[in-house]
A and B are shown apart, each in its own frame.
Chain A
Amino acid sequence: MNISLLSQLAWRNLWRNHRRTFIMLSAITIGVWAMIFMTALMRGMVDQMVENGLNTFTGHIQIHHENYLDDPAINNSLPYPGPELIAELNNSPAWTTRVRVPAVVNSERESRGVMLMGIESEKEKALSFLADSIVEGRYLKAEKEKGVLIGKKLAEKLETELGKRIVIMSQDPDNNIVDVGVRIVGIYQAELRATEEQFIFLDQGYTQKILGIKNQISEIETREENFRDLAARKTVIESKLEQNQKIQDWRHLNKLLAATLGMMDGFVLIWMLVVFIALSFGLVNTLIMAVFERTREFGLMLSLGMKPRLILSQVLFESLFLLVLGLTLGTGLAWLAIKPMESGIDISVVAEGMAKMGVGATLYPSLETRDILTANLIVILLGVSASFLPAFKASRLKPIEAMNVN
């Protein structure tokens, strides 16, 4: 007996009881839809976390003094890169340097601990969200800038506003207190309120003057073509560094982010398996019912000389068709559901909670081919294996007994 006949038989059997088939089909469709749709949402969330994380002054690769990460003090700074290192850094799509030291800002009524960032305003534009996020006032000028940029949330906490003066206090390399009054020239808004409270920005040269660290910086940051594969680039840049300088990629600088990304793959798989297990009960049950109903029929076929192997194949084919149909519909539905949402889903209702996870108020679902493939493979492979039990039962029927079932 050839396969085309077998599959024809299976296909027709499928539609003998179309109500049952439709119910099972919709179960599979919804299951697959849920697998793919939810995965796309989760992926979107994690992608955004990574993007936000890298945009928030992490970048792809950073260079520090070897002790800076353990103790971000002003003493652990490095000299501004020399010509050789600059030449190498220019091979990256973008790079910049920053002074980054802890400081305290005071207004008339409040004071807050912050991270004082001395930035190169032009270069910074390519590396972080800052330049595009000014909601009041202006960005830092390239030259002779003595104003400060602060976050919207920080301005609220300090009860101050654009155009007013605040006092910044920090320490110079000899542990003396340095302080200076600066005028707020711009207010920025970040995806996360925590960021708005954490960072304030001054011109780099002015920061160095205040802190008494001529030409010293805390970090060099680069952005590369692809944030997933940085090993080669790291080695090249590392060869140009001084002895006490250390190079690290974002996975090291933001371990939480790296771990989250790694965990996500495991998470997706578990989620799909859970949905499948729920699905498989329905599937196996349906097939067992179908086999019971046709016990007489199978007995007749066996008596006429059909090999048990072919009976088994026939039932498996039935299950396969059901699964393939369900998968096609489910995947298609998921695609239809996600496409219109790719421009972003407004989740500002729960923005506060999401912010705690590092996600903004808009969710961008991300439909990845490998997730669709995983979902389909899981359902087909495990689905067919689960159908093996009823199929095996059908093939092992004794012809006489089977024919005598009323």
Chain B
Amino acid sequence: MFKSLLQCSGLLLCLILLSLNSHTLLAQAAEPPTESTPEIQAKAILKAAIDNWRGMSSYSEMTMRIHRPDWERSVSMRGWTRGDKDSLVRVTAPKKDIGTGTLTLDKGMWTFSPKVNRVIKVPSSMMNQSWMGSDFSNKDISKADEIVHSYSHKLTAIHEQDGHKVYEIEAIPHEDAAVVWGKQVIRVRDDHVMLSEAFYDQDGILVKRMDTLEIQELDGRPVATRQRMLDIEEEDHWTEIILHTVDFNIELADSVFTLSNLRNPRD
């Protein structure tokens, strides 16, 4: 689920958001009622996080580093999110990519490229292609709360780390869920910072993993500020997202999440 959150837009953005809300969450998730089964607990942890995050808005600035054995490139971006559905990401550097943007609304996803001066709706055939050349797919970016509804969850372990409780949740997709993975294993800290998310294939082999490398206090909350998506099967292939600033619960006009704003920025 965290993953989905992430995906929802400025993936990381969402993540971050999640982690922020910790206070209320803690109350609900960290102390699950004793009579509930591990399955329910696990789902509650995820659901509480999402519910809490829903309706929130954010503005952030970040850098994405795409690393390959023979090259590396950085893209700076600004992102806006609202709720778990709406998001807008726009590139601010390097120069040749300035203005390139991605907008996700309820069910659709659009990209804008100044070079062709066209807004393109991302068709299903491209959903699995890489998002701006990174290790994230378009689907990763656009799918929101899938991990709560399309998976069954199990709380497999709780342990202590750096003075925090860490929940390890195993999520297995439902039979007809549009998910290729055999299972996902998510580690969440009790203050709702996601520590890692691992993607396993249907033979139980690890395919890719997202790790949180740095956690900082931003806008008054602990936030995962550096996260790395690692392709396990290709040596030295990863994408890192580094969060520089973030503002939560800000007022965002409806006009932010529109196709015309995607094409003609007004900020």
Residues of A within 8 A of B (CB): 102-104, 106-109, 111, 113, 146, 160, 164-171, 175-183
Contact = CB atoms under 8 A, between A and B. Distances in A.
B202 A103 contact: no
Contacts of B108: 176-177
Contacts of A106: 128, 180
A171 B201 contact: no
Nearest to A182: B176
B106 to A, nearest CB: 9
Given A108-B201, A177-B107, A181-B175, A167 B180 contact: yes
Nearest to A163: B202
B176 A171 contact: no
A181 to B, nearest CB: 5
A169 B202 contact: no
Nearest to B128: A111
A143 to B, nearest CB: 17
Contacts of B176: 146, 180-182
Given A107-B180, A176-B107, A181 B124 contact: no
Nearest to A104: B125
A168 B177 CA distance: 10
Nearest to A179: B178
A177 B173 contact: no
Contacts, number: 67
Nearest to A102: B125
A171 to B, nearest CB: 5
Contacts of B179: 167, 181
Contacts of B149: none
A104 B128 contact: yes
23 contacts: A102-B125, A104-B128, A106-B180, A108-B182, A108-B202, A109-B207, A113-B125, A146-B175, A164-B202, A167-B178, A169-B125, A169-B127, A170-B124, A175-B121, A177-B107, A177-B123, A177-B124, A177-B127, A181-B173, A181-B174, A181-B178, A181-B179, A183-B175
A169 B177 contact: no
Contacts of A103: 124
B181 interface: yes
Interface in B169-220: 173-182, 199, 201-202, 207
Given A167-B180, A175-B121, A104 B175 contact: no
A250 B121 CA distance: 35
Contacts of A168: 178
A250 to B, nearest CB: 28
A109 B182 CA distance: 12
A104 B127 contact: yes
Contacts of B177: 181
A171 B175 contact: no
Interface in B85-111: 107-108
Given A109-B201, A165-B202, A104 B124 contact: yes
